[in-house]
């Protein structure tokens, strides 16, 4: 089980009220929500390995170089940092400390997003993989033959949708492997991805189903003399106009699957890595009940923190 950590703690922050606080009154809702979600996932799906995948770089230079608009709307004024709610920012280091003390592997890679860590670990995996995320970009990883599916946090932190190849086909009318090309064509405003102007989801799906993938679509555009559906004269004109964008966008959308990562075991901790530190963090931040639930889901003994 691979957790898209930033996606999940943002979902937790917005899904659990900020009235959930530490003993001294600081919001701790994102950490509580993240830990409780993780406990529920462990209980429901019983993975034999677990990794919290981290955004070491939320807006990698290679993606910005290809498409400067990538996540540009999320930039803090006069800086390179992401806009993060004031009440969420201080909670992230607490979550880092709790995961370390609990013994749950947290993995990031300099210059890459959590998506790329997930893509690489899923590619390396020898067995089935559940990817837990609220990011539809990771739908491109679904692979029924290898047992890779997405547990999509569609709304809040409790409503999970299971996304496999059939689900992608049912929702978007395309094969799961084609989701990245579909996203390039349709666009994604949440990532600053404009898409091809005038090409919506229906046209994007029709093009993919007719020509297989983005390379096939562009080859058809290059050789077309007489337009015919779905490559009508209007669509042909739009794709010609978007040529520069279509050169750049695939680099932005495609999840990297072979980044340089050390071996990652992801072994479920049978006891906290640092019981005293975890007990202290739980007491200081009002996380005792969430830590107990996490421990129960991991099969820790009742006295694990003593």
pLDDT of 153 > 80? The answer is: yes
DSSP string, 189-223: GGGTB--STT--HHHHHHHHHHHSSHHHHHHHHHH
State how far the Cα of 200 lies from the Cα of 185, in Å rounded to an integer.
8
pLDDT of 306 > 90? The answer is: no
pLDDT of 158 > 80? The answer is: no
State how far the Cα of 255 lies from the Cα of 283, in Å rounded to an integer.
39
pLDDT of 11 > 80? The answer is: yes
State how far the Cα of 206 lies from the Cα of 294, in Å rounded to an integer.
45
For 212-229, what is the mean pLDDT?
92
Grade residue 68 by pLDDT with cuts at 50, 70 and 90: very high
For 43-58, what is the mean pLDDT?
97
pLDDT of 206 > 80? The answer is: yes
DSSP string, 12-70: HHHHS-TT-B-TTS-B-HHHHHHHHHHHHHHHHH--SB-EEE--S-SS-HHHHHH-TTT
- The pLDDT score that the predictor gives to residue 219 is 96
Do residues 181 and 213 make contact, with C-beta atoms less than 8 angstroms apart? yes
pLDDT of 287 > 80? The answer is: yes
- The pLDDT score that the predictor gives to residue 239 is 97
For 26-32, what is the mean pLDDT?
98
pLDDT (tens digit per residue) in 70-125: 999 999 987 788 999 999 999 999 999 999 999 999 999 999 999 999 999 999 99
Q: Return the SS3 of 74.
A: helix
pLDDT of 155 > 80? The answer is: no
* Residue 283 neighbours by CB under 8 Å, 6+ apart: none
Tokens of 182: 């579909």
pLDDT of 163 > 90? The answer is: yes
- The pLDDT score that the predictor gives to residue 18 is 96
Tokens of 139: 């739908």
């Amino acid at each position: 089980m691979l957790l898209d950590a930033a996606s999940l703690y943002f979902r937790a922050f917005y899904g659990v009220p900020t009235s959930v606080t530490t003993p001294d009154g600081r919001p701790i809702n994102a950490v509580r929500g993240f830990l409780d979600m993780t406990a529920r996932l462990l209980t429901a799906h019983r993975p034999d390995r677990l990794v919290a995948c981290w955004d070491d770089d939320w807006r990698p230079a290679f993606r910005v170089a290809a498409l400067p608009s990538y996540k540009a709307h999320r930039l803090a004024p006069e800086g390179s940092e992401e806009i993060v709610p004031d009440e969420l920012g201080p909670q992230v280091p607490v979550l880092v400390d709790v995961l370390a003390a609990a013994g749950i592997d947290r993995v990031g890679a300099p210059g890459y997003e959590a998506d790329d860590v997930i893509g690489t670990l899923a590619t390396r995996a020898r067995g089935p993989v559940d990817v837990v995320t609220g990011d539809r970009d990771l739908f491109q990883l679904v692979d029924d033959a290898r047992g890779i599916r997405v547990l999509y946090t569609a709304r809040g932190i409790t409503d999970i949708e299971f996304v496999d190849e059939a689900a992608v086909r049912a929702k978007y009318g395309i094969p799961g492997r084609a989701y990245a090309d579909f996203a390039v064509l349709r666009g994604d405003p949440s990532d600053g991805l404009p898409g091809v102007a005038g090409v919506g989801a229906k046209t994007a799906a029709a093009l993919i189903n007719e020509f297989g993938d983005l390379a096939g679509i562009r080859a058809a555009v290059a050789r077309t003399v007489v337009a015919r559906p779905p490559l009508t004269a209007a669509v042909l004109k739009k794709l010609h106009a978007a040529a520069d964008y279509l050169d750049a966008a695939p680099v932005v959308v495609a999840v990297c699957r072979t980044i340089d990562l050390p071996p990652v075991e992801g072994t479920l901790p049978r006891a906290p890595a640092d019981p005293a530190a975890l007990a202290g963090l739980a007491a200081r931040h009002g996380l005792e009940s969430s830590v107990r639930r996490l421990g129960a889901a991991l099969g820790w003994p009742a006295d694990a923190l003593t």
